[in-house]
């Protein structure tokens, strides 16, 4: 009898604990839950940052407006056929084709993608997820940010709503949508790993660890959103969206040693994209204001600061290496050695952040800078200048030889064959104390590209240097021992 009662009591207690436990975990789930009945202005559920978000609504909303971009090029490639070779028959030639992604941003057919996705294409085809196909017209490009704007003729097309990349936070859940590896529409998830990231991808050939660079970019405005959402070649130009289905970036590149996803992807912030696209639609080109200061390229910033006896850890902001004569910065009293710590009330910690903020402005715009000058905090207002007033043009006119402390000559046919290059120049003389001398670049070094543009003469060099608007020059080349290199040095921004 006693044993039966004890068993009965244990059974009741177990049932109570099960009910209490269930309610506890049910309540915990409701607190951290997937959407908690919260919605945004469009009525779409918003994920809570406290738990696991449900990506289904965002993916369903965005996917119809992310398109597959297929490009064709005027040249042809020959496909090898061993049977044809055996009998000495002509090889088959097929058109050169490419593939990428794009994002519909308006119902009347405007599409944003990367410049390198459509660069030099003779034909651009856009395929929607519902299999509708359009021939796209190229409206304009901006190699400086690796953006391009296309237009297809259509009405009531799906479009992705635009978010605010300034409000994006590290650790926030995001989705990447695109057409990787020529697959159909693909959605992956991750978090924002970093903001304001400069990786030296623009103006760089597609080798050495980064994928999908802009081959012909002539400036480098980089302030990427970094994410660990899986993207691969073909994702370029696709959408990076938040859990509300809002576009916060255009996927552009991956960091990889193999050419495939290895953990990090990079996207152009949507706020910068809106300014670029708006300019292209209104003016046919991008209009930018220039501050007129020089600062170190992020990759060599610490090295340059230490060479001046400055502890990089004590620089809270962007250290100014020089001020261009006649620029808005000089007129406002900015000096070499000043540290820019904020612009229009927003703090800046890196040159990438400063470049992006300035790139959103027009010639004639006034910006307020927070400076640390001579150990004292001060604020100055700078009127940005336009291209026609920009001093890098004057610097370019002086020629690359004087700027770099080196003389150049076109590659000989033997050197082209040796280095497997179609174009390039080589260094015939290095001036003591010049940039090449201090950087350890010896005579005989081959320069293949400047600012992403192939060079084969002094005229090409002058044009490539004159195209620099971002405050730095990128040089791609090969040392006499066959080692490939990339060097950056600041001109101004």
- Catalytic residue positions? 116, 146, 236
- b/e 451-475 (16+ beta carbons within 10 angstroms → b): bbbbbbebebbbbbbbbbbbbbbbb
Q: Are 158 and 245 in contact (CB under 8 A)?
A: no
Q: Where are the alpha helices (DSSP H) in 33-168?
A: 56-62, 82-86, 115-118
Strands in 256-362 per DSSP E: 264-269, 293-294, 318-319, 322-323, 339-343, 346-347
Contacts of 182 (CB under 8 A, 6+ apart): 99, 234
Question: What is the number of other CB atoms lying within 10 angstroms of the CB of residue 54?
Answer: 15
DSSP one-letter string for 240-262: EEETTS-EEEEEEEEE-SSSS--
Q: How is residue 261 written in tokens?
A: 């996803």
Q: How many CA atoms lie within 13 A of 141 on its CB side?
A: 21
Q: Are 286 and 279 in contact (CB under 8 A)?
A: yes
Q: How is residue 167 written in tokens?
A: 């409000």
Residue 40 three-state SS = coil
Eight-class DSSP state of 463: H
Q: How is residue 105 written in tokens?
A: 């941003």
Place of tokens 């919260």: 38
What is the spatial distance between Cα 48 and Cα 54, in angstroms, rounded to a whole number?
9
| Tally of residues, the chain | 493
CA-based radius of gyration for the chain = 27
Eight-class DSSP state of 50: T
Residue 77 three-state SS = strand
Burial of 143 (0-12, 13-18, 19+ CB in 10 A): buried
Question: What is the number of other CB atoms lying within 10 angstroms of the CB of residue 386?
Answer: 13
């Amino acid at each position: 009898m006693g044993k039966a009662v004890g068993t009965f009591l244990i059974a009741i207690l177990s049932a109570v604990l099960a009910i209490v436990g269930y309610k506890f975990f049910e309540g915990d789930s409701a607190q951290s839950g997937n959407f908690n009945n919260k919605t945004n202005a469009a009525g779409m559920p918003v994920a809570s940052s406290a738990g696991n978000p449900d990506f289904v609504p965002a993916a369903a909303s965005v996917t119809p407006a992310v398109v597959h971009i297929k490009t064709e090029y005027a040249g042809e490639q020959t496909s090898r056929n061993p049977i044809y070779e055996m009998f000495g028959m002509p090889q088959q030639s097929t058109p050169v084709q490419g593939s990428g992604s794009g994002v519909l941003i308006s119902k009347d057919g405007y599409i944003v993608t990367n410049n390198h996705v459509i660069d030099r294409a003779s034909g651009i085809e856009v395929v929607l997820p519902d299999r509708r196909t359009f021939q796209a017209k190229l409206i304009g490009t901006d190699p400086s940010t690796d953006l391009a704007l296309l237009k297809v003729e259509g009405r009531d097309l799906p479009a992705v709503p635009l978010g605010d990349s300034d409000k994006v936070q590290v650790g926030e859940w995001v989705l990447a949508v695109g057409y990787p590896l020529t697959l159909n529409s693909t959605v992956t998830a991750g978090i924002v790993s970093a903001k304001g990231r400069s990786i030296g991808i623009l103006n760089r050939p597609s080798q050495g660890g980064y994928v999908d660079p802009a081959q012909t970019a002539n400036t480098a405005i980089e302030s990427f959103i970094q994410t660990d959402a899986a993207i691969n070649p073909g994702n370029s130009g696709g959408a990076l969206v938040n859990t509300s289905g809002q576009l916060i970036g255009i996927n552009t590149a991956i960091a990889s040693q193999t050419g495939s996803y290895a953990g990090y992807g990079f996207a152009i912030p949507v706020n910068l994209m809106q300014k670029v696209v708006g300019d292209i639609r209104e003016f046919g080109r991008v209009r930018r204001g220039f501050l007129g200061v020089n600062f170190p390229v992020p990759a060599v910033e610490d090295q340059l600061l230490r060479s001046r006896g400055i502890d990089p850890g004590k620089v809270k902001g962007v250290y100014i290496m020089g001020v261009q004569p006649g620029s808005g910065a000089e007129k406002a009293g900015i000096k070499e050695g000043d540290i820019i710590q904020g612009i229009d009330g927003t703090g800046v910690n890196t040159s990438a952040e400063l470049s992006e903020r300035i790139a959103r402005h027009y010639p004639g715009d006034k910006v307020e800078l927070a400076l640390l000058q001579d150990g004292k905090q001060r604020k100055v207002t700078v009127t940005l200048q336009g291209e026609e007033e920009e001093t890098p043009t004057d610097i370019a006119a002086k020629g690359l030889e004087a700027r770099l402390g080196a003389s150049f000559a076109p590659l000989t046919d033997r050197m082209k064959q040796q280095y497997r290059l179609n174009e390039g120049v080589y260094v015939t003389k290095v001036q003591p104390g010049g940039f090449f001398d201090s950087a350890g670049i010896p005579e005989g070094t081959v320069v293949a590209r400047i600012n992403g543009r192939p060079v084969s003469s002094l005229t090409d060099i002058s044009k490539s240097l004159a195209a620099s608007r971002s405050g730095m020059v990128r040089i791609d080349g090969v040392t006499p021992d066959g080692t490939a290199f990339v060097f950056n040095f600041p001109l101004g921004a």
